[in-house]
């Protein structure tokens, strides 16, 4: 399966997300010679590292949860706390999200958060996934995904909610919402997010077939906005950020809200039902069996 090639070895197997569901200063921002690293829970177990340059108002969030930046409950909690603190800092106007792990941006939702867990735990986990999406999709900051590796399923969603996506031009990498390959269904808000970006027909084909796109193909359908050599990802993201921050902030923020609010409201008004749908689906014996078979397949590939 193409999806498994994006995964690294290790116990934290990940990459799927979902179930059946219902329904304003100007000027060039340069790569700063000195970054102020925000010491926010920067312990050896920290999954998020934030570098914030106060002189430019731009923060770089490094996902550093080996082996593949699985979106576990702990990861999502730390991610949301870091994002909320940046939002509260009036000096922070832009956020670049990237990975510290080689060859992978994020392999998606952590399967171990969905396999063999109680309904209560599954519900807590799904609420954290929703929270990540709501906070990032509705952020007042300019958000840029610097995709320096493969980004399937939930990893793709993480990049989709950003304002702009720059991906490493490496044919070994892939990106897409490939849930159907595991016999499960992307939720309506995953679908809506993708459709808002690549249109109805591309979304229809992508979700039904569980497609993972190479960077060049992702660029063709608008799934990513720009391809650059891997060693130029952060430099390009910083230069691109300067163009976005040159726009009068109030006008940009209102426009962003106008474009996204109906999608956000749709999830907010169905949030509890969405959680219940997820829990009901993911705890089904047939789905648990599929997850178990998938993990066994990954172990065999590793061996």
Minimal CA–CA distance to 90: which of 122, 68, 59? 59
Q: Are 241 and 60 in contact (CB under 8 A)?
A: no
Average pLDDT over residues 176-195: 92
Q: Which two tokens stand for residue 215?
A: 């960077």
Which residues are part of the catalytic machinery? 109, 154, 178-179
pLDDT above 80: residue 235: yes
Q: Are 181 and 210 in contact (CB under 8 A)?
A: yes
Tell me the pairing of strands 226-228 and 164-168: parallel
pLDDT at 184 (0 to 100):
80
CA distance 230 to 217: 17
pTM over 0.75: yes
E strand intervals along the chain: 36-38, 48-53, 58-63, 94-99, 142-147, 151-152, 164-168, 175-176, 226-228
Average pLDDT over residues 154-179: 97
Average pLDDT over residues 222-245: 97
- Edge-to-edge order in the sheet of strand 36-38: 36-38, 48-53, 58-63, 94-99, 142-147, 164-168, 226-228
pLDDT above 60: residue 257: yes
Question: For 114-155, what is each residue's pLDDT tens digit?
Answer: 999 999 999 999 999 999 999 999 999 999 999 999 999 999
Question: Is residue 45 very low, low, confident or very high in pLDDT (cuts 50, 70, 90)?
Answer: low
pLDDT above 70: residue 2: no
pLDDT at 33 (0 to 100):
28
Question: Is residue 8 very low, low, confident or very high in pLDDT (cuts 50, 70, 90)?
Answer: very low
Which CATH superfamily does the domain covering 2-297 fall into? Answer: 2-enoyl-CoA Hydratase; Chain A, domain 1 (3.90.226.10)
pLDDT at 299 (0 to 100):
80
């Amino acid at each position: 399966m193409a999806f498994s090639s994006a995964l690294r070895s290790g116990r934290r197997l990940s990459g799927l997300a979902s179930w059946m569901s219902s329904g304003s200063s100007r000027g060039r921002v340069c790569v700063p010679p000195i970054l102020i690293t925000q010491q926010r829970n920067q312990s050896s177990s920290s999954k998020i590292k934030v570098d914030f340059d106060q002189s430019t108002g731009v923060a770089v969030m490094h996902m550093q949860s080996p082996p593949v930046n699985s979106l576990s409950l702990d990861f999502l909690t730390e991610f949301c706390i870091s994002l909320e603190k940046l939002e509260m800092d009036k000096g922070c106007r832009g956020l670049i999200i990237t990975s510290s792990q080689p060859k992978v941006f994020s392999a998606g939702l952590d399967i171990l958060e969905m396999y063999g867990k109680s309904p209560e735990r599954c519900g807590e986990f799904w609420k954290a996934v929703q929270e990540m999406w709501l906070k990032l999709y509705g952020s007042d900051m300019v958000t840029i995904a610097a995709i320096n590796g493969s980004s399937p399923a939930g990893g793709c969603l993480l990049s989709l909610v950003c304002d702009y996506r720059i991906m490493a031009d490496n044919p070994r990498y892939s990106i897409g919402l490939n849930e159907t390959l595991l016999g499960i269904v992307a939720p309506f808000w995953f679908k809506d997010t993708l459709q808002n970006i690549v249109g109805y027909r591309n979304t229809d084909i992508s979700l039904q077939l569980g497609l993972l796109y190479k960077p060049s193909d992702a660029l063709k359908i608008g799934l990513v906005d720009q391809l650059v050599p891997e060693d130029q990802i952060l430099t390009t993201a910083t230069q691109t950020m300067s163009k976005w921050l040159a726009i009068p902030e109030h006008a940009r923020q209102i426009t962003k809200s106008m474009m996204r609010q109906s999608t956000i409201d749709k999830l907010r008004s169905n949030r509890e039902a969405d959680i219940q749908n997820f829990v009901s689906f993911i705890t089904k014996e047939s789905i648990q069996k599929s997850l178990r078979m998938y993990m066994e397949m990954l172990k065999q590939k590793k061996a």
